[in-house]
Chains A and B, each alone.
Chain A
Amino acid sequence: MVVPLEYYLGVSVALFSLGVIGVLVRRNVLVILMCVEMMLNAVNLAFIGFADYFKAVDGQMFVFFVMTVAAAEVAVGLALVVAIFRNRATVYVDDLNLLKW
């Protein structure tokens, strides 16, 4: 069975939008980081869909880079969350309000 390109893109756009909404709406840093991951995986899906459709390998290669970088980013992000939790005992962005205009 061949899955048409539109299906890949549809799921990808839906996942990306959910991720964006999640980042904007949720208040827990961990959930926000997960939503960012969801956006990155939506990108991966789009890349794979296009790579399959055009039979061009660049897109699939890109996915590996995105996954690696996402892992590094989350490692730094979680380290920062731990540092903040030690100092302030919170993981909610509403409590991070020292810096404001």
Chain B
Amino acid sequence: MSVTIPSFTLSSIGPWLTLTVGAIFLLLLDALSPKGRKAYFPQLSLVALGIAALQTYCLWGRSGTDFARMIYLDNFSFFFYFIFILGTALTVMLSRQYLEDWGKNLGEYYALVLFATAGMMLMASSAHFIMIFLGLEVMSIAVYVLAGLFREDFKSNEAALKYLILGAFSSAFLLFGMAMLYGAAGGTLYLPDLAARLTDKAFVSTPLALLAVALLIVGFGFKVASFPFHMWTPDVYEGAPTSVTAFMAVGVKAAAFAAFARVFFLVFPSLKVDWVMVLWVLAVATMTIGNVTAIAQTNIKRMLAYSSIAHAGYLMVGLVAANQLGAVSLLYYLLAYTLMNLGAFGVVILVGRKKDAYLNIYDYSGLGAQHPVLAATMALFMFALAGIPPTAGFVGKFYLFSAAVQAGFIWLAILGVMNSLVSVYYYLRITVLMYMKPAEADLGPVAFSPATTAVLVATAVGVLWAGVFPGFLYNLAVNSVKIFPGM
């Protein structure tokens, strides 16, 4: 008997391989190198990420599938690779100083971050439900551990356990949805095959398919932190180490949206009438709950967590619109969100100082007088998150809401804009505190490390650049979403 192995090209998963090998190498190095000589882990992870970015650049423009139709090679996934690599690289640069303050600058931290990034890439490019599940779990399990990195810290423990239990709970829903879909489509889990079978009304058992759609919405909704599955977000974001929170807020959300968008745009166009209405309601509820609750927060990390819930709502507008501009705005906004959110968390890390001593929003009062540049940067990120021109946040929201109008969801756009107005209140409050309130106590020196400063400069420039000249990213995104039917 002979077994034929289907042909495959290793270079089509080059970025994953680089990150995985890099992470394993870091683990080995951590075990073998003597104590006190571990300062170079961030640099090594950045090198791995740089190589992965280069490989993604070389892959750009390829199309088709590989590994026995298990993965897609298309610009949609490559665009997301870039988002993940950018987010991870900025996180790694933010981490070192912060972790050293806690005495936790461990090799496994960087290895886990790289593993999680590889999992995100798997999610973005999977063409089979097994791959989506595997990518999701590779990412999530690494992030559970990262959230609990500060073993002796009660809050970190609690955040990690809550995240793990609710994450596993939501994965079970996602899996049950996949099983129902498997049954509804008559025994296939390939995304392209499923799309073809679900259009054939005579063949599909519709109730089962609808149940599958509902369960998949629950599963993905948990990961992107949409209402009513958002309850874990503030707790986990507050308790986890700040650098991990930044990573979760941008990376995990982007990966979940990548899979969410691919599955719903590619597999379920035939059931569009049904899921669009559900997502419409969820998007509006998510925005409103996130924004209204954020107003009441006094912990900056918790405030940014609710802001992240609100942003999940805005991003879902792109899914509801389900047209070309909707998908484009989803990609653009995720990139913009990566920049502005990581920048904001960078400032939080700098102001928080030794062991997160200053996380209350009132600790920001008087920052404008004592550290004018830092305050100006924070103000820029707050304006960007609120969606005020000329930042990337404004352009992204403009695209999202015009996509909704284009698709005929006028009320969704109106509610979205009203929500943005509500959000201006709590973002501007930070700015007002920084510039118009005297400091409650002397803030003392802020330890600017070169890497953190570089992150702040890069994100600030990126937010402005993407806001003033959005054309380049817009064209890239248009190029990326061509794979979806009708876009």
| Interfacial chain B residues near A61, Cβ < 8 Å | 130
Q: Tell me if B157 and A80 are in contact (CB < 8 A).
A: yes
Contacts A77-B168, A80-B160, A101-B293 given; does A87 touch B152 at CB 8 Å:
yes
Q: Tell me if A58 and B182 are in contact (CB < 8 A).
A: yes
Q: Tell me if B161 and A80 are in contact (CB < 8 A).
A: yes
Residues 13-37 of A, flagged 1 when their CB comes within 8 A of B and 0 if not, give: 0001001100100000100110010
- Interface stretch, picked from B53-61, B143-151, B260-268, B438-446, is B143-151
Q: Tell me if B169 and A39 are in contact (CB < 8 A).
A: yes
Alpha-carbon distance A36/B169, docked complex (angstroms): 6
Contacts A58-B187, A62-B130, A65-B134 given; does A99 touch B158 at CB 8 Å:
yes
Q: Tell me if A76 and B164 are in contact (CB < 8 A).
A: yes
Q: Tell me if B148 and A54 are in contact (CB < 8 A).
A: no
Alpha-carbon distance A16/B198, docked complex (angstroms): 25
Residues 85-99 of A, flagged 1 when their CB comes within 8 A of B and 0 if not, give: 001100000001011
Contacts A59-B187, A80-B160 given; does A66 touch B148 at CB 8 Å:
no
| Interfacial chain A residues near B374, Cβ < 8 Å | none
Q: How far is the CB of A30 from chain B (nearest CB, A)?
A: 11
Contact of B159 with A by CB under 8 A:
yes
| Interfacial chain A residues near B297, Cβ < 8 Å | 101
16 cross-chain CB contacts under 8 A = A16-B176, A36-B165, A43-B176, A43-B179, A46-B176, A53-B187, A54-B187, A58-B182, A65-B130, A66-B175, A80-B164, A83-B157, A84-B161, A88-B154, A96-B158, A96-B162
Q: Tell me if B133 and A46 are in contact (CB < 8 A).
A: no
| Interfacial chain A residues near B148, Cβ < 8 Å | 80, 83
| Interfacial chain B residues near A29, Cβ < 8 Å | 161, 165
Q: Tell me if B179 and A46 are in contact (CB < 8 A).
A: yes
| Interfacial chain B residues near A19, Cβ < 8 Å | 172
Alpha-carbon distance A100/B144, docked complex (angstroms): 19
On B, residues with C-beta under 8 Å from A are 129-130, 133-134, 137, 141, 144-145, 148, 151-152, 154-155, 157-162, 164-165, 168-169, 171-172, 175-176, 178-180, 182-183, 186-189, 234-235, 238-239, 293, 296-297, 302
Taking CB as reference atom, which chain B residue is nearest A101? B234
Q: Give the interface centre of B144, B145, B179, B293 by most chain A CB atoms within 10 Å.
A: B179
Q: Tell me if B151 and A83 are in contact (CB < 8 A).
A: yes
Q: Tell me if B172 and A76 are in contact (CB < 8 A).
A: no
Q: How far is the CB of B147 from chain A (nearest CB, A)?
A: 9
Q: How far is the CB of B339 from chain A (nearest CB, A)?
A: 28
Q: Tell me if A33 and B145 are in contact (CB < 8 A).
A: no
Q: A39-B172, A69-B137, A101-B293 are in contact. List 9 more A-B contacts (CB 8 A).
A: A19-B172, A33-B165, A36-B165, A50-B187, A58-B188, A73-B144, A73-B168, A80-B164, A98-B154
Q: Tell me if B165 and A73 are in contact (CB < 8 A).
A: no
Contacts A54-B186, A65-B134 given; does A99 touch B239 at CB 8 Å:
yes
Q: Tell me if A76 and B169 are in contact (CB < 8 A).
A: no
Q: How far is the CB of A51 from chain B (nearest CB, A)?
A: 7
Name B182's contact: one of A47, A77, A80, A101 (CB within 8 Å): A47
Q: Tell me if B164 and A87 are in contact (CB < 8 A).
A: no
Alpha-carbon distance A40/B178, docked complex (angstroms): 12
Q: Tell me if B302 and A101 are in contact (CB < 8 A).
A: yes
Taking CB as reference atom, which chain A residue is nearest B128? A58
Q: Tell me if A32 and B182 are in contact (CB < 8 A).
A: no
CB-based closest 4 A-B pairs: A54-B187, A56-B187, A39-B172, A99-B235
Contacts A50-B187, A69-B137, A77-B168 given; does A99 touch B155 at CB 8 Å:
yes
Q: Tell me if A36 and B238 are in contact (CB < 8 A).
A: no
Taking CB as reference atom, which chain A residue is nearest B183? A50
| Interfacial chain A residues near B179, Cβ < 8 Å | 12, 43, 46-47, 50, 59, 62
Contacts A36-B172, A62-B130, A83-B148 given; does A99 touch B162 at CB 8 Å:
yes
| Interfacial chain A residues near B164, Cβ < 8 Å | 73, 76-77, 80
Q: Tell me if B133 and A69 are in contact (CB < 8 A).
A: yes
Q: How far is the CB of A77 from chain B (nearest CB, A)?
A: 5
Alpha-carbon distance A59/B152, docked complex (angstroms): 42
Contact of A2 with B by CB under 8 A:
no
Contacts A83-B151, A98-B154 given; does A43 touch B175 at CB 8 Å:
yes
Q: How far is the CB of A70 from chain B (nearest CB, A)?
A: 8
Q: Give the interface centre of B152, B169, B172 by most chain A CB atoms within 10 Å.
A: B172
Q: Tell me if A77 and B165 are in contact (CB < 8 A).
A: yes
Alpha-carbon distance A65/B183, docked complex (angstroms): 18
